[in-house]
Amino acid sequence: MRIALFGGRFDPPHYGHLILARDIYESGRFDRVRFLVNYDPPHKKAEADFTHRVRMLNLLIRGEEGLEVDPFEGEMNISPSYTYAVLKAYRRAHPGCEIYFVVGEDQLRAIRTWKNYEELPGLAKFVLLKRGSVSVPREILEVFRPMVLTVRKLDISASEIRRRIKEGRSIRGLTSDEVIDYINFHGLYTNGGEITVYTDASARGNPGELTIAFVVRRGDRTVYEYSRVVGHGTNNEGEYLALIEALNWAIGEGIKGFTVFMDSRLVVNQIKGVYRVRSPKIKPLYEKARELLSVAGARLEYIPREMNVSDRLTRIKTPTV
């Protein structure tokens, strides 16, 4: 298999990255084009962490034939992620593949400043992307002998996107709506406000049909709402189930260090150790909730019902799951 590795910080990924990758794949020279996400770039650190950048790339290229996101550098914990070290490890991990490493003209012109650059021609074949005439010194071209591909130029940069976000300006048209929603949800590239989570539950009859809900807010904006019917039980069981559901969701989204608010004094005081848990039905829920709070680095606080923004969701009839 012929694999073209398109490396970068992708902080954030945008349509310029996507169009370049499409042009590389559509050249017909490669079986796959893989976005190789820098884990710990040695010269300029990324603003968004590795996991966010991998997730955003997956959103950007969803449904694109021949394009893949490769979290290899993070999976192998290559730090700092010098190119020679990454390519050595990649060759070992993919012994049956032809490895091509994609560079632009600016990168190739400066390649003699890269750590152990003299090893690179033996680790991968190089692909040079050009948009006009090639202006790379002849001695570098003779050493690296790159495959030259003509590609389109789209005047978009990740730094421009980050700057526009910090200035509160729109980035529509520069990257996909899915990436934009992800950036807004996680508050990337700006001080978007702290995450707070509100949970609630109601039992119609106590015990009765249980509805659980939670609302996620960043600053003063609601960014996610969730509710569902989960069966029958008591209000107390429902409050624990809502808390567990919200914590599992947050952990799955990579959100940590937030505050959860609920209007059940009983559950809050049980979690904080003020009251003992005596019910055999509640005990495993209590233990699970404490475990997830620890994993998420979250804290639980009481608020009055009238301040609980998730309360209204438990009053809406929702489908049973």
The answer to whether 195 and 185 have CB atoms below 8 angstroms apart is no
CA dihedral (60, 62, 66, 70) in degrees, to 10, reads: 70
pLDDT value of position 43? 82
Q: 199 pairs with which residues across the strands?
A: 214, 262
| pTM assigned to the model | 0.73
Is residue 200 located within the same domain as residue 292? yes
Instruction: Give the pLDDT confidence of 18-41 residue by residue, as tens digits.
Output: 999 999 999 999 999 999 999 999
Domain extent, residue 24, equals 2-186
DSSP 28: T
Look at residue 109 and tell me if it is in a domain.
Answer: yes
Is residue 11 located within the same domain as residue 137? yes
Last residue in a domain, options 122, 151, 186: 186
> Among all chains, which residue has been given the structure tokens 């954030």?
12
Is residue 163 located within the same domain as residue 218? no
CATH value at residue 98: 3.40.50.620
Is residue 174 located within the same domain as residue 29? yes
In 10 A of CB 11, how many CB atoms? 24
Is residue 150 located within the same domain as residue 129? yes
Look at residue 204 and tell me if it is in a domain.
Answer: yes
| CA distances for 13 relative to 17, 60, 68, 179, angstroms | 6, 7, 13, 8
Is residue 92 located within the same domain as residue 240? no
The list of the chain residues with pLDDT below 70 reads 191-192, 315-321
- The residue type at 192: G
Last residue in a domain, options 186, 215, 232: 186
Long-range contacts of the stretch 217-222 (C-beta < 8 A, 24+): 217/309, 218/185, 218/187, 218/192, 218/193, 218/194, 219/187, 219/192, 219/193, 219/194, 220/193, 221/193, 222/309
Instruction: Give the pLDDT confidence of 139-192 residue by residue, as tens digits.
Output: 999 999 999 999 988 889 999 999 998 888 899 999 999 999 899 888 899 866
Interhelix angle 50-60/15-26, nearest 10 degrees? 60
Is residue 123 located within the same domain as residue 221? no
Is residue 199 located within the same domain as residue 181? no
Helix, strand, or coil here: 320? strand
Look at residue 113 and tell me if it is in a domain.
Answer: yes
pLDDT value of position 192? 64
Number of domains in the chain: 2
pLDDT value of position 317? 47
- Cα 137 to chain center, whole Å? 39
Last residue in a domain, options 144, 166, 186: 186
| Bridge pairing between strands 67-70 and 32-37 | parallel
Is residue 258 located within the same domain as residue 117? no
pLDDT value of position 311? 86
